[in-house]
Structure 1
Amino acid sequence: MAVLPIRIMGDPVLHAPAAPVDEITDEVRALVSDMFETMDAAPGVGLAGPQVGVALRLYTYSYEDDEGAPWRGVIINPELWMRPLEPGEPDPDEESEGCLSFPGERFPLRRSDEVLVTGIDLDGAPVRIHVTGWRARIMQHEFDHLDGVLYIDRISDGDWKTAQKVARKRGWGKPGSAWMPGVDHLDA
């Protein structure tokens, strides 16, 4: 297992749709193991293949709820269905999120409160995940990565302008931008 560098906004792999996983090989299993280690080292609650430079449709997730119940897994070739969004502006206290590919910042973003995700696991067995709340947010955020969408692509115009200023100031927005969990200490 190894911690992998996490690509930052502007790297082309983050801004293009990922390809389906055709076969679950030892290489895919090793990638998933490395993704879990990278996600934990970052730390994050989700990590998609493109975020570590691999343009494949898979992501890991890990979240502990208020009662300490763990929720952890991988989903390969996911499909996502969501309840329509509630109208209105996002609550900055309750609906803000961050991203390991835009580290150190959080912006409000309205997401669906309920999703269903299907796909397969590392054994090729079917996976069906029906979740609400923060877990639904994680599923939508990671799924977006597989379509080349960063959460900052979905935020309000004013916040998007702020995000662009942050990116320019930090030298992001170009190919090859990355950070290394455990070495570079960035907050996401």
Structure 2
Amino acid sequence: MPSGGNARPITRWGEPVMHRKLQPVTEYDADLEALVADMFATMYAADGAGLAANQIGVDLQVFVFDCTDGDNKRVAGVVCNPVLTLPVTGDRNLDDSEEGCLSLPGAYTWCARPDWARVDGTDHTGAPVTYVGEGGTLARCLQHETDHLMGTVFGDRVPARARKKLYKQAEAIAEDYPSDWPAVARISSAHDL
């Protein structure tokens, strides 16, 4: 994985780039490698499990992740132009777990998703990659990040009442996450106690 990147400010829900399908990656070059390095640095600075390019304002179909699968094995990777495969309706089990998003920091709600997901695409060098999440955070992460690249935030997948609560949670602690977070440290508050 590319390293040595710089954390960038995270784009919030409501910005147009967060709510439209992104452009496919067509050039696998030094610019893409630098973008991916910055994405990893941003994700780690924000203590996230995954990050899509539009979450730092970039209109490209690429996401990075570093989380655990159902066996608690750590898996990290880069996916460009992902194709998501989910189980057929009759063959799937839903995992109704709490979910959050770095683009709505500090807010969480329950979101049901299939407990199995597969993503095919390429890495930042253009090499083919496939990741399969079977339970754990990985299955949810692959779905969440692919959604971002298609212009969907997880709040679009929950009932209106839960979405309203998400926004209220985020508003209540907004001052803890300045607009340039995590490029600058989060403001410490009573929430940290």
Shorter-normalised TM range: 0.7 to 0.9
Query: Given the alignment of the two structures, is residue 19 of structure 1 paired with residue 23 of structure 2, yes or no?
Result: yes
Which of 114, 117, 121 in structure 2 is aligned with 1:115?
117
Deviation sequence 1:74-107 (CA, Å, 0-9, x none) = 011110010145799964xxx1111100110111
> Within 5 A, what are the aligned runs for 1:66-77?
69-77=73-81
1:141 CA displacement = 0.3
Distance in 1 between residues matched to 2:170 and 2:73, nearest whole Å: 36
Q: Does 1:130 align with 2:135?
A: no
Are the counterparts in 2 of residues 58 and 75 from structure 1 also a CA contact under 8 Å?
yes
With normalisation by structure 1, the TM-score equals: 0.84
Does structure 1 conserve the Cα–Cα contact (< 8 Å) formed by 2:98 and 2:109?
yes
- C-alpha displacement at 1:183, in angstroms? 1.8
Note the aligned Cα RMSD (angstroms).
2.7
Provide the C-alpha distance between the structure 1 equivalents of 2:66 and 2:128, rounded to a whole number of angstroms: 19
Q: Is 1:8–1:179's contact at 8 Å kept on the other side of the alignment?
A: no
Percent of aligned pairs with the same amino acid: 37
Q: Tell me whether 1:41 sits opposite 2:45 in the alignment.
A: yes
Aligned-partner Cα distance in 2 for 1:84–1:23: 33
Q: What are the Cα deviations for residues 88-140 of structure 1, in whole angstroms up to 9, with x where unaligned?
A: 9964xxx1111100110111011011111100012211111122112110000
CA distance in 2, matches of 1:100, 1:135: 16
Query: Aligned partner of 1:180: which letter?
Result: W
Distance, in Å, in 2 between the alignment partners of 1:16 and 1:59 is 15
Higher relative CO (CA 8 A, sep ≥ 6), structure 1 or 2? 1
**Contact map agreement 1:90 1:108 (CA 8 A) in 2:** no
State the match for 1:98 in structure 2: 100
Aligned residues: 180
Q: 1:61 is matched by which residue type in structure 2?
A: F
Letter of the 1:36 partner, please give it.
F
Match of 2:153 in 1: 150
| Structure 1 residues without counterparts, runs of 5 or longer | 172-176
Q: TM-score, normalised by structure 2?
A: 0.82
The match for 1:174 is: none
Structure-1 residue corresponding to 2:166: 163
Distance 1:131 1:102 in 2: 24
Q: Is the 8 A contact 1:96 1:108 kept in 2?
A: yes
- How many Å separate the matches in 2 of 1:15 and 1:122? 23
- Give me the whole-angstrom Cα distance separating, in 2, the residues matched to 1:52 and 1:159: 25
